[in-house]
Chain A
């Protein structure tokens, strides 16, 4: 903790968990899009999010994050209109998502090329978030560190190939956290790697070239 965790953040009100945290969840989805234009957004809201989202502006905050705004952007207030003007169709669906944190949102996005993205996460207090699910795969990261998501086929040596690349070519990078999600043996799997500092130029591109890796997404500190 430092002094700016107490004095700050600078944010759009009214609630750090229901507004600022919601923007940050939306920003994870924005990073997934990687510059693509979202055209259809459906957001399931669970728990307290479902009950109070209108009064807290949680809907506008989530949309703002998806469209790349920050938790301090004054545009959040007018986000429903801004999204409409940008040609983004959006829908909010209060829904009971069982076994989730009380402030949980599931964001489904279709971009202008028809690609689909799904991000599920919770606003866990004070503007902090936890991402629980990406494109149907369980994850567990907070966005406090630069996070690399490596989608790959579950094959022997897949993890070693990634870590070997990091050791051989990017030895300055320190892994702070590593997690593997593999719903089916031999199927699609996801590595989540949180690193200290910024990833060096070229690392993500090099990771994409690794055998059995299908996609790599970098989620910069949000």
Chain B
């Protein structure tokens, strides 16, 4: 049985058996949960189906959040991407960005999403994986399997550090999601378990210290757009890892650093909406607009 107390454990177990991380995780979870592997795979497939559906829901141009502060960003980004044939960053990336915006917007508008690992960071995995599925021709099965890898990395992060903004800031939510997504991307693209670990490390390192400062305490500003940067960071980390670039600091130490940084963050920057962007004059004005005081 795996302990999920380090990424090193996952990499070693997979490398020894010459298997993908997702394969050893699925087998291990089936044993641990006393279910058969096919059922767990089906459950993950259902999660992926919901991710794809929330991209579609979130692309509605008329989408509005409950507070009225946000909405329609996914549509705008997609329209821009189509019109300009990919804007500055290219069609693939601008479309991936539009998917992250769509899913996060779907969440803010009380649509159905998969919390990966949280609702606030729910756009990052779909932004990465639905894009690979719809545009790069990778098989649905490989993509669904890779979510087990993402989930296992998330379990380690949750065990060693945390995945809640109230505990560790946005680095714990979007940072974790981005690290998980980077590992999954590497696996789908055929990289080694070692590369997946490096990708996760580089993604996390690029979001260390990111605070959780939601305007009006709502999962909208700046959360929705941080899902976009989470996607961009995941892709760049995955590509770096696939190119053979490694993280100088091993991933497990990066996760420990994230935990230490989270503990050093003042409460005002951990989801209390009392600091950062939430405490700016405009942030306060927006809060009053929604809640009246």
Residues of A in contact with B (beta carbons under 8 Å apart): 1-16, 19-20, 48, 51-52, 54-57, 60, 72, 74, 76-77, 125-127
Contact = CB atoms under 8 A, between A and B. Distances in A.
Contacts of A5: 155, 158
Given A3-B148, A6-B158, A125 B116 contact: no
A6 B290 contact: no
Contact of B114 (A10, A57, A76, A77): A10
A1 B4 contact: yes
A10 B113 contact: yes
B152 interface: yes
Given A9-B114, A72-B112, 8 more contacts: A3-B25, A5-B158, A6-B116, A7-B114, A9-B115, A16-B118, A60-B110, A76-B110
16 contacts: A1-B155, A3-B40, A4-B43, A6-B155, A10-B114, A11-B112, A12-B111, A13-B106, A14-B220, A16-B115, A48-B217, A52-B218, A54-B66, A55-B66, A55-B67, A126-B118
A76 B110 CA distance: 8
Contacts of B44: 3, 7
B151 A13 contact: no
A11 B148 contact: no
B117 interface: yes
Contacts of B180: 6
B9 to A, nearest CB: 15
B291 A11 contact: no
B122 interface: yes
B196 to A, nearest CB: 15
Contacts of B119: 11, 13-16, 19-20
A38 B78 CA distance: 45
A1 B118 contact: no
A4 B151 contact: yes
Interface in B155-180: 155, 158-159, 163-164, 166, 180
Determine which residue in B66, B67, B180 has the highest number of CB atoms from chain A within 10 A of its CB, and name it.
B66
Nearest to A48: B217
A127 B32 CA distance: 23
Contacts of B216: 52, 55
Point out which of B151, B216, B290 has the most chain A C-beta atoms below 10 A from its C-beta: B151
Contact of B115 (A8, A52, A54, A55): A8
Contacts of A126: 115, 118, 164
Contacts of A15: 119-120, 219
Given A48-B217, A54-B291, A8 B67 contact: no
Given A2-B32, A55-B218, A10 B164 contact: no
